[in-house]
Amino acid sequence: MPHTSAILNTPTVVTSASEMQRLVRAQQAYSKRVGLVPTMGALHAGHLSLVQRSLQECDYTVVSIFVNPLQFSPQEDFSKYPRTMESDLAKLADLGVPTVFSPPAAEIYPPGFSSYVEVGDVTKAWEGAVRPGHFRGVATVVLKLLQIAPADRAYFGRKDYQQALTIRRMVTDLNVPIEIIVCPTVRDNDGLALSSRNVYLNPEERRHALTLSRSLRQAREMFTAGERDAAKIRDAIRKTITSEPGVNLDYAAVVDPLTLVELSKIDRSAVALVAARVGATRLIDNEILGHPEI
């Protein structure tokens, strides 16, 4: 039967947790190193950078696509979150990804489901304070994904800094035998950090949204010029963002890279975290000041 190469390359879509587990174990039985890239789909170049890293470092890569209801609060955008399965599969086919895990919600949260993962201190402030229950949802689904696809390595983006730190904490605390790899933030040419939620921005909002990355660039320039007073850097970020029309700042902070506690003085390195709403769209971004700790 004739095949086009596109058909030949399309990843196998696995929807069953037990089947996914079996496939990963089968690879490992042949001493293959397995990489997992958890996503919620609507794939962009940021996601694809994680996928490419896994393809480079591992023999077999699984990309999961699951919009996790547990990490959205009732007033958030779960139902309208972009779902673009066909084009996601085409992008993954182009890269040569063999397997996509895309379960229905009932496979992950069957009737009677009632076990949750609570990660401590690092989840309390910033995103955790603005989005109660968010990291509980993230940690729970990621631990499940790491059980379902018990890979050797899992890849996360530094764009979601607090999330990456939370997952590191969880796998350490719960002795999950996996290496967590945190990859750099991928940006558009104008500096905007790529995010599946950027599609919600109209052209004017998108222009306003650039203030986030602009403020963080200024922060990095201050740090590079020798500024170590964290409050001065934080205040400069705040001033830039709050003077942009149409942008509502949720928080701007200069924090310790491992505890996320606000710093007064930067000794070694720090992370500048920002979150703001542009119209109805909530965006987050961050900049490492100094050496990345994760």
For ligand AMP, the closer of residues 201 and 263 by Cβ is 201
180 lines the binding site for ligand AMP (CB under 6 A): no
Q: Could you confirm whether 134 is annotated as catalytic?
A: no
- Integer CA distances (angstroms), 99 to 64, 140, 194, 256, in order: 9, 22, 24, 37
Q: CA gyration radius for the chain?
A: 20
For ligand AMP, the closer of residues 60 and 156 by Cβ is 156
40 lines the binding site for ligand AMP (CB under 6 A): yes
Q: What are the b/e assignments for 193-210, b being 16+ CB within 10 Å?
A: bbbbbbebbeeebbebbb
Phi, then psi, of 44 in degrees rounded to 5: -130, -175
208: closest CA among 278, 273, 274, 272? 278
- The single residue of 3, 44, 47, 134 carrying the catalytic annotation is 47
Give, in degrees to the nearest 5, the angle at Cα 81 between 75 and 83.
155
When binding is defined by CB under 6 A, the residue of 193, 209, 212, 284 that contacts ligand AMP is: 193
49 lines the binding site for ligand AMP (CB under 6 A): yes
When binding is defined by CB under 6 A, the residue of 160, 212, 254, 255 that contacts ligand AMP is: 160
Cβ atoms of 141 and 66 within 8 Å: the answer is yes
For ligand AMP, the closer of residues 227 and 293 by Cβ is 293
Tokens for 81?
């979150």
Q: With CB under 6 A, what is the number of residues at the site for ligand AMP?
A: 17
For ligand AMP, the closer of residues 27 and 185 by Cβ is 185
Q: Which stretch binds ligand AMP (CB under 6 A): 107-115, 144-152, 193-201, 273-281?
A: 193-201
Beta carbons within 10 angstroms of residue 90's beta carbon: 15
Tell me the catalytic residues: 47
Binding site for ligand AMP (CB under 6 A): 39-40, 46-47, 49-50, 156-157, 159-160, 183, 185-186, 193-196
